[in-house]
Structure 1
Amino acid sequence: MGHRGQQQVLKDKTSKDPEKDAWIANFYTENHLAWELFSEVASPEQLKFMVYLGDEVYYYPCSDEVFSAIMEKKGKDLLPVLYFKVWEEIEPLIEKAIDDSYKKKFLLNLLRIKFRHETATQVVLPSRLEKRLLQIFTRVASVERPLAIEKEKKNQNCKRAISSKAFIEALNDPSPIKDLECSSLDRLQEEIIFLKLKRLLSLTSHPEIWEEEREFSKEEFLQMMNGSITGDGLEWFMSVASRWLGRDRRHYVLWTGLSAGQCIIDLEIIRLLIHMGIKIIIATKNAFYFDAITMDDALEDQVLLEYFKNALYITNHQISKKELIEKLKSDYMLFIISDGTQERFNPLLTSVTFARAFKESDVVVCRSPRDMECIHDSHFQFTRDVLSIVAQEDGVVSMNLRPHHPNAVRFSERDLAEKAEALIYHLKMQKRRGKTIMFYSAIVGSIPNQMETAKEVLKVFVDYLRSKQEDVLVINPAEHFEPGMDADDIMYMWEIVQRSGLIDIWRFQTVEDIEKAFELMGKKVPPEWVGKDATYSTGCTKEMQIAIEVQKEHPEMQIIGPPWQKFLRRKEYGVGKLYDRVLDEK
């Protein structure tokens, strides 16, 4: 670990107790979860897309019980049991997936060595141990899609079963409808959809449908469909879905945790939801993870390809907010993404695309029992409602809601577009009154730990411009910020305004602007601000690219500031912030 990395981990996790802080820093580094040190770990801004942190200093992807046991160094009773459960799944996997005798023995011995090494200090999370052992397995096994034949067989068995006449008759059996009292045909249609939904959910607790190669009778299907659904999730979801019906606004559900065989019934449920007008984003695993459906499975399994023939695959792991929203607004109703991981649900390691899909969704559905520890056994709450659907035993399905944190603020695409349109209307009114419109792009968050100073510099200089220019409306973007908005929201909203063709002058912050602002404040320019201008900001770089594109359509617009060539060093703004990650690592 570099010196700066050690300082940053301690600074971010400090509790004024050096021994405790050192142990916390050790926990994050040993589990490869310190974002300052490992490029694959989500920044705090990206994490906040999914987890509502509030005043929390750090987040951990495990149960409170496990974290407390590690922090208090009392894991000797709990952790060995959890570690052994991991090994109990890894060992038979090797036996099943590898035929070569030498390679099998070699891999087993290698993994035993790694297992003993990783568990010795009792600091590594069981989920991280599992991930490391699986990575070694996939690399040494050199199998393109481990267990592919077995997983495809399960999908084929399940598809064959639900394509049978017996299944179709059972699913459409009208007996319960006779007892329904509905006020309208629309209401009756809704009740029919929900009845089918409950029947399909009950089927997910019967693995014999995909494990066994046999025919099932209508009576057997009806019996399986009449299972018990426990928890508060079903009633809640039906209430939410009912409110969504007939609304103009599109709603999105992020569906995670598909597993072989069971996923075919999930996809039938998803078809029902799409029929209701709900758009679905399916998140696969990025690499082999036991029975979980991976992106490779989604691209190669013939049964899945049939279901996904009208889906849009999004393979870019770092899609921008604008690109994602444009795809979601398309005519597609089903989208396939990867969560970017090879492990249980871990918001610290999911891809940028998954984080943004989570943020844009109305509800997140979690289907994997392995994810429950992180979702229900932890005190952390999420920015979106999370609905877990887990088969407990034959005939029993547990549906539990993890409500979003009440303080989590969501700005939907429509919300941001409406705010942009309101600003555009205001600018049109000002232009009719003879005003010249100037948009001022400046450093906001590009200099670490200088956010408040940047806002002050921006305000002081914009006020100065307003005082010396007549009939010029100078737009200071910071004045239109609302609590809960992140840089993704801000950039998306302002781009709509910026492309409206209403801007007469687009001014980018210069070194001289910054020097003048500090002069007006009666201060010398601090060392961290010396020589800085808009080219130092990745957000401004993005805006310069937009400005050049807008100028092509509206040649009369004037661009003032540093030459555009100097902006080329910044390629993309950071996730959830107005500066790129590299700047904060120097």
Structure 2
Amino acid sequence: MRPGRVDPAKSVLFSLPRRKGRDFFAGAQYILVRFMTLRCPVDTASTCPGFLENRKNPMSEIIRYVKGLDPDRDAWLTNFFTENHLAYETFPDVVASPEQLKFIVHLEDEQIYYPCSDELFAAIIEKRADTVLTSAYIGIWTRLEKLVREVVTDPYKQRYLLSLLTIKYNHETMHKVQLPGRIEKRLLGIFTTISEIDRPLAVEREQENKRVAAFLKSETFEQLFNSPEGLEIGDTTTLTDIDLQLHLLRLRRLLLLSSMRPIWRQDQPPDSDTLRRVMNQPLDTPEWQWICNWLRDVIAGKRRPCILWVGGRSGEIVFDLAILHIFMKIGIKVILAVKQDFYYHRVSFIDLLEDPTLDELLEDADLIGDPKISKNQLLRYLDSDNRLLVISDGTREPFNPLLTSVTYARAFKEADLVVYRNPGGRENINNHFQFTRDIVSIIPGDDGEVDILLKPHHPKAVRFSRAQLRRKAQELISMVEREKAQGKTIMFYSAIVGSIPGQLKTAKEILNVFVEYLRSSLNDVVIINPGEHFVEGMDADDIMYMWEIFQRSGNIDIWRFQSVDDIVKSFELMGKKVPPEWTGKDATYSTGCTKEMEIAVQMQKQYPEMQLIGPPYEKFQRRKEYGVGKLYDRTLAGSE
């Protein structure tokens, strides 16, 4: 055996034999995939009635895991999430909180989200996933082994890495509970750490981007791209119709060209006849028609949307940027998301800084490296000049909402449409889960063909646009301005609402009781109680954004923050004793109130006559950021 070659006979990589020097991994993978296509339909009712709820769904028979029917299966479910490092309770600094997850996935009460296909999840829970997972695991090893041999040239280090990765691979795949994406992420992490190669495959990927950039500047492309071939102009055709046709024609041509791999894999692009044929072929699918109708509304001025575009691989990304500039020209706000770390030929955040081609193409873009940007910061970027925003999704996996960054989750929430250019994540999009935003998955098929999948948002998904939140804030501003014109004093009352986990109902009751007490005690004072203006479906992001607009309007005469005495008085008014979880609490315990105190201090500098009542400013400094999408501080939740 040649140096650096891992001996499969000494590995648990399914102990496939080698004959006449031939590697049988590929053959075994083919056999397993063929076997998978002949498998029988899943019948969970025969093994555990009620364990999985079955509903009619074109994507899958398996819909929803029902907990509480079998303790052994529930334990295996918990093991599934912990072994895959996907349990928020166990890994709160890595896994998205339930509130953050709901920015992306629409979940009903008690519904469990898993980042894989319904079929694979059911197979793992039923402990019969050997065939499906074995095939996927072999694919991971094949890619990883090829990567090591391509980029690690030192024979000793190459063999050491392959041996180490084999050990880790065998350990991770032993129990057939690990999701393929999670295993691949861990193995790639080991590879990049041990190899000490900053950007594996960088030369090849940069060359691919350079080829596409040169192609888009070529005379051949310019001539074919600007050809009027395909425009339909008749006696009744309006200029608006022509404008729409032009944008759709350009978009279609770029999408079709982005599937032409020879453009970035070869030094010479395909000939002009081939390019002309590809660029002018139709896209006659319902999904494409949906995109056309969506853009028609944009051009007609019916919406001014924001698109989150999740970029693809090297070469393809240059076409993506050309497409995004078309969107920006017609007034669409655009956020481009890329991978956080190395993932083969997928574009990562560091590539944007190190790749000369991408650096040039993105010279006017805003690159946001902060993984936990606030809603207000993101909206300030979106409200500024129409510049391209670029973020990382926070992962090195195809599609996993449980592990995306806070910044990505907030970008998803603010977007009107999300476009994925990622073949590997298709099965995780095309399962039974529905999302909070419309999703279009556009991936390359054969050269010159694209495969488009449309996943409409869940009909119950609630979305508060910036315009709606601003309008609601303005209504409050107009109301208090009318009251002030009549000589009344405006008081804003900041209090704990959701900062004590499990006490939301009690917090609202305390707030309402005390505000009514103040109203009965004070003359000609209008008291703004935030709890009275809450709209179902709002999360902390929406609430803080709306109230900050009102709070900075300069209409508050007295800003009162809830004190310990306020809470004691509230329970006294309710005829109750103060329970332990409320003893000693005041507004300083609330992260939201802390944010509001900072605003109040800033506003007092502008309006020195404004009074501040409540705990001193210094006591607010222990709370700096409210939990993502929630009304309490995640640090406090973890300490309860």
Give the TM interval when normalised to the shorter protein: over 0.9
Larger RCO: 1 or 2 (CA < 8 Å, sep 6+): 1
Q: What is the rounded CA distance, in whole Å, between the counterparts of 2:89 and 2:179 in structure 1? A: 19
Percent identical pairs in the alignment equals 52
State the one-letter code of the partner of 2:167: I
Aligned match of 1:334: 388
Pairwise CA distance, 1:101: 1.0
Q: CA deviation at 1:552?
A: 0.5
Query: Is contact 1:252-1:363 (8 Å) kept?
Result: yes
- Taking structure 1 as the reference length, the TM-score comes to 0.95
Choose which of 174, 194, 200 in structure 1 pairs with 2:254: 200
| Partner residue in 2 for 1:273 | 327
One of 284, 287, 308 as aligned partner of 2:338: 284
Deviations 1:84-133 (A, max 9, x none): 12112111111112111111111111111111111111111111011111
Amino acid at match of 1:398: D
Q: Which runs of 5+ in 2 are unaligned?
A: 1-64
- Equivalent position to 2:444, from 384, 391, 403: 391
Q: 2:156: which partner in 1?
A: 102
Contact 1:13 1:21 in 2 (8 A): no
Structure 1 CA distance for aligned equivalents of residues 286 and 441 of structure 2: 10
* 2:346 partner letter: A
Shift of 1:172: 1.4
Aligned counterparts, 1:193-342, within 5 A: 193-227=247-281, 229=283, 231-247=285-301, 250-342=304-396
User: Hey, what's the Cα distance between the residues in 1 that align with 2:388 and 2:511?
Assistant: 43
Q: Does 1:509 align with 2:562?
A: yes
1:452 has 2:485 as partner: no
Say which SS state the counterpart of residue 370 (structure 1) adopts. helix
1:429 to 482, 495, 500: 482
Change (3 A) 1:154 1:293: same
Q: Is the 8 A contact 1:13 1:24 kept in 2?
A: no
5+ residue gaps, structure 1: 1-11
1:131, 1:382 → 2: CA distance? 24
Paired position in structure 1 for 2:590: 537
Which SS does the other structure have where 2:291 is aligned?
helix
Contact 1:310 1:332 in 2 (8 A): no
Establish whether residue 492 from structure 1 lines up as the match of residue 545 from structure 2. yes
Say which is worse superposed, 139-148 or 572-581, in terms of deviation. Answer: 572-581
Matches within 5 A, 1:21-170: 21-38=74-91, 39-170=93-224
Could you tell me which residue of structure 2 aligns to residue 585 of structure 1? 638
CA contact (8 A) 2:253 2:280 kept: yes
Q: 2: distance between equivalents of 1:310 and 1:109?
A: 45
In structure 2, the CA distance between the partners of 1:381 and 1:190, relative to structure 1 (3 Å rule), is same
Shift of 1:77: 2.1
TM-score scaled to structure 2, two decimals?
Answer: 0.87
Deviations 1:295-325 (A, max 9, x none): 1111121111221111111111111100110
Note the alpha carbon deviations across 1:407-461, whole angstroms, 9 max, x for none.
Answer: 1111111111111111100110111122211111111111111111111111111
The aligned length equals 574
Q: CA deviation at 1:233?
A: 2.4
Displacement after TM superposition at 1:578 (Å): 2.3
Tell me what 2:526 maps to: 473
Shift in Å, 1:47: 0.8
- TM-fit CA distance, 1:532: 0.7
Distance 1:161 1:582, change over 3 A: same
Distance of 1:141 and 1:578 partners within structure 2: 43
Do the aligned partners of residues 230 and 85 (structure 1) sit closer, same or farther apart at CA in structure 2, a change above 3 Å counting?
A: farther
Deviation for aligned residue 1:58: 2.1
Of 511, 520, 524 in structure 1, the residue corresponding to residue 573 of structure 2 is: 520
Choose 1 or 2 for highest CA Rg. Answer: 2
Secondary structure of residue in 1 paired with 2:500: coil
**Matched residues in 2 for 1:157 and 1:344: separation?**
25
Alignment RMSD: 1.6
Give the Å deviation of 1:542: 0.5
Superposed CA deviations along residues 127-147 of structure 1, whole A, max 9, x for unmatched, are 101111111111011111111
SS at match of 1:77: helix
**Alpha-carbon deviation of 1:17?**
3.4
Q: Any idea what the Cα deviations from partners look like across 1:323-369, whole Å, max 9, x if unmatched?
A: 11001111033111111111121111111111111111110000010
Conserved? CA contact 2:331–2:386, under 8 Å:
no
